[in-house]
Amino acid sequence: MSNLALQELLDGRWGHVRRAAREQLAGSHFVTVPGETLEEARSRVSKLLTELPTEPGVAAGFPIEYGGGADPGGSVVAAEMLAQIDLSLMVKAGVQWGLFGGAVVALGTKRHHDAYLRDIISAALPGCFAMTETGHGSDVQNLRTTCTYDPQTRTFDLHTPHEAARKDYIGNAARDGRMAVVFAQLVTGGQSYGVHAWLVPIRDGNGDPMPGVTIGDDGHKAGLLGVDNGRLSFDHVTVPREMLLDRYGQVDEDGTYRSTIENDTRRFFTMLGTLVRGRVVVGGSASAATRSALTIAVRYGDIRRQFTAPGHDREVALNDYLAHQRILLPALATTYALSFAQEELVTALHEVQTAPAGATDEHRQRELESRAAGLKAAQTWHATRTIQACREALGGAGYLAENRLAGLKADTDVFTTFEGDNKVLLQLVAKGLLTGYRDAFGSLDGWGRATFVAEQVRAMVLERTAARALIQRLVEAVPGRDEEVALTDRGWHLRMFSDREEHLLDGVIRRLRKGAAQKKDRPFDIFNDVQDHVLAVASAHIDRVVLEAFVAGVDRAADPETKALLSKVCDLYALSTIEAHKGWFLEHQRLTPARSKAVTAMVNDLLRQLRPRMRELVDAFAVPDEWLNCAVLREEPARQEAMAQFDGRLS
Amino acid sequence: MSNLALQELLDGRWGHVRRAAREQLAGSHFVTVPGETLEEARSRVSKLLTELPTEPGVAAGFPIEYGGGADPGGSVVAAEMLAQIDLSLMVKAGVQWGLFGGAVVALGTKRHHDAYLRDIISAALPGCFAMTETGHGSDVQNLRTTCTYDPQTRTFDLHTPHEAARKDYIGNAARDGRMAVVFAQLVTGGQSYGVHAWLVPIRDGNGDPMPGVTIGDDGHKAGLLGVDNGRLSFDHVTVPREMLLDRYGQVDEDGTYRSTIENDTRRFFTMLGTLVRGRVVVGGSASAATRSALTIAVRYGDIRRQFTAPGHDREVALNDYLAHQRILLPALATTYALSFAQEELVTALHEVQTAPAGATDEHRQRELESRAAGLKAAQTWHATRTIQACREALGGAGYLAENRLAGLKADTDVFTTFEGDNKVLLQLVAKGLLTGYRDAFGSLDGWGRATFVAEQVRAMVLERTAARALIQRLVEAVPGRDEEVALTDRGWHLRMFSDREEHLLDGVIRRLRKGAAQKKDRPFDIFNDVQDHVLAVASAHIDRVVLEAFVAGVDRAADPETKALLSKVCDLYALSTIEAHKGWFLEHQRLTPARSKAVTAMVNDLLRQLRPRMRELVDAFAVPDEWLNCAVLREEPARQEAMAQFDGRLS
C-alpha cells in the first residue's frame, strides 16, 4: 500500500526533520498514557521534555551561537511531529521553547540572550509566557497588569490591580515554571507607553513562589492534562530595570522612555508580530493530530465490518458505505490541502525569520501574520470537526481512551480558542483584505483592536500565492461560460474560489460604505452589522489560499501516478468545498441548479474512485503505529479473523 | 428576567416531576466533581444512585404492584433532570432502571417480576443490559453469543464463541453489576430461534465473578467516568431454564420452542420495540444537557465584556456581537424546538406504554419507534454541536473543568453512537417513510438489517403530528406564490419543510427504482448509492416533525406576551433551518436567489430582536445554579465590577 513518492511530497522541505523524529522518537516511550491522573500526566510530560532530542527538534529555532539550529521552519515541523506523539508534550515544548524562549529571543537583547538562552534550550530554566489575563483573553492590548518605573530605586514595580488582571491559563505556571515573560502596561514618569514584557522570576530554587508572587492552578481541563496551566498575580513585585525585554522600547535610568517606534499601538503589534511562530505551530499541530485521527478512522474502516449485504458473502467493510466515505474522504482531501498550505506558510515564516537583519520588509511580515492567523483558524476548526467525526466513525470504540481518539479530541479542543480565538483571527484576516479600501469608508478602528492589527497594516492580500504563474495560466485557460467547463477543470475551481472571495469582499465594502453613511451615530453597529460577512470573506480568502497551495503541491509531484492520484484528491477538496457553499454560489448565480446537482454527483463519483486508495492516502502520512497508540487497530484484525473462521465453521 | 409562563410551558405535562427534582435534588450534593479519578467517580456515582428519591424518579416507570409509579413518561423526564445534574448519574440510573429493569419488565414474566423487581427498584440488585458485542455494535440481530438448551439437564448453556462475541461497553459491568440481562442466539433441538434474553448472575455475594464468567473493564473513556462500562464473556455458563425472559418465546422442559410470533426476525424486533424508552431517554438527556450548556454560555455572554468599541463607554458584552448571536441564538431556538418535540414524543411513549394490555396497535408502536429513533439522532447531534459551540464561546475558560462545559461535552459525546448509531437510526426512519412504496422497487432487505426494522413495519409517516388541524389550517392559508408570502408566515415555513421532505422522498424512490432496474447484479450498490439521499430524507422528516411540535407548542401558550416571544423563536428556528438548507431550496427552485438572501437578512434581524431576550429564554429552562456548577458564572460579576471600578479610578 505504501506510496513513498506521495509520502516524500507530503514530508516536504523539512522531510529530514520528520524522518529524524520518526526514528529518534520511535517506540512507546514518549506516547500518551490514557487514564493518568493530573499529577501523573504533569510529571511524566515534564520529565519527557528534558529527554527530547534537540537536533533536530523544537529548540532548533534558537540562534546557533547559543546552541540552536537557526532553523525556525524546522522547529515548527518538529513541533508538528510531537503533536502526533502527545499533544501535551507538544504544548509543553511549545511553551518552553516557542513562547517563553521565543519571546526572550525576539523581545530581549544580547544581555538577556547571554544570560538565559542556554538554560532555556536545555530546559534547565523552565519558563512561562504570561500574557493572557482572566479579564482580557483576546484583547491583550488592554491588559491591566502594570509595571511602573521608579527612578529612585531604578526598578520596576509589577502589580496586579485586581483579580480580573491576574494572568490566567499560563502554561508551565502551576507546577514547573521558574521564570516568566510577563506582559504589562509600562508606566514611567506618570505616563503609560503600552504593553511591554519583562523577565520575572516566579519561583525560587526550592520551587516556592517568589515574594509577592501568587501562583494558582487552573486544575483539571478538558484535555492537555500534561500541561500545568496556572494563574499568576503580582503584589508590587520589584523587577530590576535590566529585566525589561528592551528590543523595541527602553527605559533609561532616569526613567526616560525611548523607542524607535513612536506609536504605542504600532510598537505593540510589531512586538506581537515577532511571536507569530506560536500560531503557525498550533495550526500545524492541529493538522498533524488530524492526520493521526484520520489514519486511525480509515484503517479501522478498512478492517471493521458491519451488516451483511445482499451480494456480499461476508459483512461489508465500513469504508464501503457511501455515508462513511462522505464523512471521511472530503475530510481527508481537506487535510491534504491544509498540509500543503501549512508547508507554504512554514516556508514563508522561515524566510522572513532567517532574512538578514534589516532585509525583512514589513509587507511580507504582515502577510505572514495574516496567513498564519487564517491558517491557524482553518486548521484548528478542521481538526475539531474531523477528529469528532473520526471518533463517531469508530462507534463505541471511539469513546474508549485506549483507542486514542478521545484524547486527540480533548487535547486539540482548546486550539480553536488559544493563541488567538479563531473568530478574532478571521477578523484580522479580513482587515488585511480591507485595508486597501480604507479610504472608502474611513478608519477601521471599529474592530481595530478586535483584530490585533496596528493601523499601519498595509497587507494586500488578493495577490496570488507561490505558484502564481501556474495558477494564472490555469485560470486563463478556462472558457468563458461555466456550463462548457468540465467539473474537474482546475482553472474553473480556482476561478470559483477567487470569484467567491472577491464578490464577498465587494459586498463587505459596499455594506461598510452604506453603514458609514447611515449609522454615524452608532459606530459600533457599522461594524457589528456586517460581522457575519466579515467572517465569510476571511474564510473564503483562506479557502482560496489553501486551494492554490494544493494546486502548487500537485504540480510538484514528479511521479505521474502520484500526480494523478493527488489531482483527484484535489478535485475532491475543490468540489466538496464548492458543494459546502453551494447556497452562496446559487444565490449569486455562479452555479445553475443543474450544475449544482452535478457537483454533488461528481463528489460521489470521486468518493467511489478514491475508495480503493483511502488506505494508501493515510499511509502516506507515515504516522508510526506506536504513535497511533490505538488498541483496536492492534486487536481488530485477529477478531475479524476469528469471526470469519467461526462463521465458516458454522455455515 | 424570569418568565414563569414560559417556564411552565417548557416544563410541560410532567412539570411536577421537574419541579420535584429541582427541590429534592437541590444543593450541591449530587453534582459532578471535576477532576475525579476513575475510581472516585465510579464509587461516588454508585453510592448516589442509592440515595436518589424514587418518587417521582427514574424508577417511576415500574408497575405499581412492585413499588413503581406506572408512569413511564415521568421516568423519562426524571432522567432528563438527572442529566442536568450529572450525566454519569443519569446513565447509571438509566442502565439500572431503564435498560436492566426495563428489560426484566418487558421481556420477563410474572415469576421474574416477583423475584427481582423490588430489588431492582431499590438498587439492592445492580444489573446490566448485555446486548452489544465487540464485533457487532449496531448489528445486534447477528450477535454471536449462543445459549443452547439441553433437555437432559433442563438448563441452557451460555457461551461466548470468540473474542469478537464478548459483550462490550456494558454499563454497570466493570464494578457493580450482580446480574445481567444477556442477549444471545437461542438454540434448542439443534435449531436457532434468533436472539432472546436471559437473566444471568455475573457476580457472587462477595463481588467476585461467577464461575465461567470473565469480566473486563473498558477503562478510561472520553467522559462518563462515573459509569463502570465493562466486558463480559461466558465460558459454557449454565443458566436454569426459568431464567429465560420468556414473554415472547418459551422453551418447554423437553426443549420444544414456542412463541406466538412465528417469524424470528419479527419476534426479535418486537422484543426490541418494547425497549424503546432507552432512546427516548438518551435524546431527552442530550437536550437537557444542551439547555445547561446554553444557559452557561448565554449568561456568560451577558456579563463578559471584550474590546472597547467606538460609541460604547465600556467594553462590549459578548452577546452584543453579531457573530456571537449567530452561534448561540439559532442553537437556542433549535433547543426550544427540540424540547417541544421531545415532550410530544414522551407523551406518545407514555400513551403506548400505559394502554390497557392488547389495546396498543402495532402501527402506533412502530411510529413511536421511528419517532424515537429520529429524535434521538437529532437531539444528540444538536447536543454535540451546540455544547462544542458553547465551550468555544467561553474561550479559554470553557476549557477548564471547573466551568462545566468540558464535562458536558465529554459526557454527552457518546450519545451520537450509543443506543443506536445515529446514521443507522436515520436509516430506520427513512425505511419507515419508504415502506408504503415497497412494491415499487421490491424488498428493502438491502438495508433491512441495517435499520433494525422488521419486515412487517407498516409505519406510514407522512401524516401530520399532534396539532394536525392547526397545521393544516396554517398551510392552507398560504397564498400560492411564495414571493407574495411574508418570510415569517408560519404556513410558509411549514410548507417549505414538508415540500423538502416530500421532494427528497420522491427522489429516493425514483433513484431506488432506477437502481433496481439497472443494478440487479449489484444489489448492495442499489442501496449504497442512494445512502446520502436516504439520510437526507430522514433528516428532513425529523425537521418537519420538530417544527410541527414547536408550532403546536406556541399555540399552547396562553399568555399573549409569551406567545409573541415564542413565535419569534419559532421564526428563528424555521428560518435558520431553511437558511442552513438554502442550497437545496435554491437547487430545487423553492427559493429564488433574492428570497434566499432575504431569509439571511431576516435571520439577522431576528437575532437583533431576540438579543435582549436571550437571558430570559435560558432562564426559562430553570436549571438551578448549583446544577450549572460553573465557577466563572459565580466569579465573573465581581471581576467585572472590580475592573469597572478600577478603570473608573484610572480615567
Taking CB atoms and an 8 Å limit, are B221 and A401 in contact across chains?
yes
Taking CB atoms and an 8 Å limit, are B586 and A589 in contact across chains?
no
- Specify the 3-state DSSP secondary structure of A137: coil
Q: What residues of chain B, 447 to 506, have a C-beta less than 8 Å from chain A? A: 447, 449-450
pLDDT digits (tens, 9 = 90+) for A257-279: 999 999 999 999 899 988 899 99
Is residue B529 very low, low, confident or very high in pLDDT (cuts 50, 70, 90)?
Answer: very high
pLDDT greater than 80 at residue A455: no
pLDDT greater than 90 at residue B216: yes
pLDDT for the residue numbered B77: 98
Asked if B542 contacts B435 with a C-beta cutoff of 8 angstroms, the reply is no
Tell me, yes or no, if A168 comes closer than 8 A to chain B by beta carbon: yes
Strands A250-251 and A167-170: unpaired
Q: Helices in A445-489 by DSSP H: which ranges?
A: 468-476
Q: How far apart are CA A583 and CA B95, in angstroms?
A: 44
Taking CB atoms and an 8 Å limit, are A639 and B307 in contact across chains?
no
pLDDT for the residue numbered A521: 83
- The widest CA-to-CA distance across chain B, in whole angstroms, is 94
Strands A191-201 and A146-150: unpaired
Q: How far apart are CA A527 and CA A445, in angstroms?
A: 9
Please give the average per-residue pLDDT across A613-641, as a whole number.
96
Taking CB atoms and an 8 Å limit, are B414 and A421 in contact across chains?
no
pLDDT greater than 70 at residue B388: yes
pLDDT for the residue numbered B449: 33
pLDDT greater than 60 at residue A308: yes
Q: Which of A35, A137, A402 sits opposite B38 (nearest CB)?
A: A35
Please give the average per-residue pLDDT across A440-451, as a whole number.
44
Strands B230-234 and B213-217: antiparallel
pLDDT greater than 90 at residue B56: no
pLDDT greater than 80 at residue A2: no
Tell me, yes or no, if A446 comes closer than 8 A to chain B by beta carbon: yes
Q: Residue A528 corresponds to which cell in the numbers above?
A: 457589528
Please give the average per-residue pLDDT across A267-292, as a whole number.
95
Please give the average per-residue pLDDT across A525-530, as a whole number.
90
Tell me, yes or no, if A598 comes closer than 8 A to chain B by beta carbon: no
Q: How far apart are CA A431 and CA A438, in angstroms?
A: 9
What string of H, E and C letters represents the secondary structure of B288-341? HHHHHHHHHHHHHHHHCEEEECCCCCCEEEHHHCHHHHHHHHHHHHHHHHHHHH
Is residue B440 very low, low, confident or very high in pLDDT (cuts 50, 70, 90)?
Answer: very low
Is residue B527 very low, low, confident or very high in pLDDT (cuts 50, 70, 90)?
Answer: confident
The ipTM estimated for the assembled molecules is 0.94
Q: How far apart are CA A143 and CA A272, in angstroms?
A: 14
Beta partners for A133?
A: A136, A167
Q: What residues of chain A, 222 to 261, have a C-beta less than 8 Å from chain B? A: 222-223
Distances (CA, A) of A597 to A478, A594, B462, B594: 21, 5, 26, 20
For residue B610, give the amino acid letter: L
Q: Residue B365 corresponds to which cell in the numbers above?
A: 408502536
CB contact burial B12-25 (16+ within 10 A = b; e otherwise): bebeebbbbbbeeb
Taking CB atoms and an 8 Å limit, are A643 and B529 in contact across chains?
no
pLDDT greater than 60 at residue A442: no
Please give the average per-residue pLDDT across A277-289, as a whole number.
97
Beta strands in A12-160 (DSSP E): 127-130, 146-150, 155-159
End-to-end CA distance of chain A, in Å?
Answer: 33
pLDDT for the residue numbered A457: 31
Q: How far apart are CA A445 and CA A488, in angstroms?
A: 42
pLDDT for the residue numbered A438: 54
pLDDT digits (tens, 9 = 90+) for A73-117: 999 999 999 999 999 999 999 999 999 999 999 999 999 999 999
Q: What angle do CA B287, B293, B299 make, to 5 degrees?
A: 130
Nearest CA in chain B to A530: B322
Please give the average per-residue pLDDT across B6-18, as a whole number.
97
Cα-Cα-Cα-Cα dihedral sign, residues A87, A88, A93, A94 = positive
pLDDT greater than 60 at residue B40: yes
Is residue B116 very low, low, confident or very high in pLDDT (cuts 50, 70, 90)?
Answer: very high
pLDDT greater than 70 at residue B456: no
Tell me, yes or no, if A316 comes closer than 8 A to chain B by beta carbon: yes
Q: Residue A442 corresponds to which cell in the numbers above?
A: 474611513
Taking CB atoms and an 8 Å limit, are A384 and B384 in contact across chains?
no
Percentage of chain B lying above the pLDDT 90 cut: 79
User: Which of A322, A387, A508, A537 to probe by mutation at the B interface, max B CB count within 10 Å?
Assistant: A322
pLDDT for the residue numbered A200: 98
Is residue A461 very low, low, confident or very high in pLDDT (cuts 50, 70, 90)?
Answer: very low
Q: What angle do CA B365, B462, B504 make, to 5 degrees?
A: 125
pLDDT greater than 90 at residue A467: no
pLDDT for the residue numbered B643: 86
Highest mean pLDDT (candidates A233-237, B138-142, B425-429) = A233-237
pLDDT for the residue numbered B86: 98
Is residue B6 very low, low, confident or very high in pLDDT (cuts 50, 70, 90)?
Answer: very high
Q: Which of B221, B391, B589 sits opposite A400 (nearest CB)?
A: B221
Chain A environment of B323 (Cβ under 8 Å): 423, 531-532, 535
Please give the average per-residue pLDDT across B265-278, as a whole number.
91
Contacts of A226 (CB under 8 A, 6+ apart): A36, A41, A42, A44, A45, A46, A86, A88, A89, A91, A92
Contacts of B523 (CB under 8 A, 6+ apart): A309, A310, A311, B446
Please give the average per-residue pLDDT across A183-190, as a whole number.
97
pLDDT greater than 60 at residue A459: no
Asked if A470 contacts A552 with a C-beta cutoff of 8 angstroms, the reply is yes
Q: Residue B58 corresponds to which cell in the numbers above?
A: 427514574
pLDDT greater than 70 at residue A48: yes
pLDDT digits (tens, 9 = 90+) for B299-327: 999 999 887 776 667 788 999 999 999 99
Is residue B462 very low, low, confident or very high in pLDDT (cuts 50, 70, 90)?
Answer: very low
pLDDT greater than 60 at residue B443: no
Position with higher pLDDT, B482 vs A389: A389
Nearest to A30 by CA among A55, A47, A54, A11: A47
Taking CB atoms and an 8 Å limit, are B139 and A322 in contact across chains?
no
pLDDT greater than 60 at residue A54: yes
pLDDT digits (tens, 9 = 90+) for B576-616: 999 999 999 999 999 999 999 999 999 999 999 999 999 99
Position with higher pLDDT, A187 vs B509: A187
Please give the average per-residue pLDDT across B141-164, as a whole number.
96
pLDDT for the residue numbered B448: 39
pLDDT for the residue numbered B183: 98
Beta partners for A308?
A: A315
Tell me, yes or no, if A127 comes closer than 8 A to chain B by beta carbon: no
For residue A418, give the amino acid letter: F
Please give the average per-residue pLDDT across A619-641, as a whole number.
95
Please give the average per-residue pLDDT across B363-378, as a whole number.
93
Nearest to B339 by CA among B370, B387, B381, B375: B375
Asked if B558 contacts B8 with a C-beta cutoff of 8 angstroms, the reply is no
Asked if A415 contacts A380 with a C-beta cutoff of 8 angstroms, the reply is yes
pLDDT greater than 90 at residue A453: no
Mean pLDDT computed over every residue of chain B: 91
Tell me, yes or no, if B531 comes closer than 8 A to chain A by beta carbon: yes
pLDDT for the residue numbered B357: 76
pLDDT for the residue numbered A616: 97
Beta partners for B199?
A: B181
Beta strands in A218-353 (DSSP E): 230-234, 237-240, 250-251, 257-258, 305-308, 315-317
pLDDT for the residue numbered A436: 61
Please give the average per-residue pLDDT across B207-230, as a whole number.
98
pLDDT digits (tens, 9 = 90+) for A15-43: 999 999 999 999 889 999 999 999 999 99
Q: Residue B592 corresponds to which cell in the numbers above?
A: 429564488
Q: Residue B263 corresponds to which cell in the numbers above?
A: 417469524
pLDDT for the residue numbered A236: 98
User: Which of A453, A586, A603 to probe by mutation at the B interface, max B CB count within 10 Å?
Assistant: A586
Grid cell 538578514 is found at: A356
Is residue A454 very low, low, confident or very high in pLDDT (cuts 50, 70, 90)?
Answer: very low
Q: How far apart are CA B92 and CA B98, in angstroms?
A: 9
Position with higher pLDDT, B439 vs B344: B344
Q: How far apart are CA A282 and CA A288, in angstroms?
A: 10
Q: How far apart are CA A202 and CA A178, in angstroms?
A: 5
Taking CB atoms and an 8 Å limit, are B646 and A308 in contact across chains?
no
Q: Which of A37, A306, A643 sits opposite B37 (nearest CB)?
A: A37
The DSSP line for B443-475 is --GGGTGGGT--TT------S--TTHHHHHHHH
Contacts of B543 (CB under 8 A, 6+ apart): B378, B497, B500, B501, B577
Give CA B227 to chain center in angstroms.
18
Tell me, yes or no, if A605 comes closer than 8 A to chain B by beta carbon: no
Tell me, yes or no, if A360 comes closer than 8 A to chain B by beta carbon: no
Q: What residues of chain A, 179 to 198, have a C-beta less than 8 Å from chain B? A: none
Percentage of chain A lying above the pLDDT 90 cut: 78
Q: Which of A223, A316, A399 sits opposite B524 (nearest CB)?
A: A316
CB contact burial B580-611 (16+ within 10 A = b; e otherwise): ebbbbbbbbebbeeebbeebbebbbebbeebb
Asked if B273 contacts B140 with a C-beta cutoff of 8 angstroms, the reply is no
Nearest CA in chain A to B164: A639
Please give the average per-residue pLDDT across A42-48, as a whole number.
97
pLDDT for the residue numbered A648: 77
Is residue B459 very low, low, confident or very high in pLDDT (cuts 50, 70, 90)?
Answer: very low
pLDDT greater than 60 at residue B444: no
Q: Report pTM.
A: 0.95
Q: Where does residue A207 rank: exposed (0-12), middle (13-18), buried (19+ CB within 10 A)?
A: exposed
Tell me, yes or no, if A144 comes closer than 8 A to chain B by beta carbon: yes
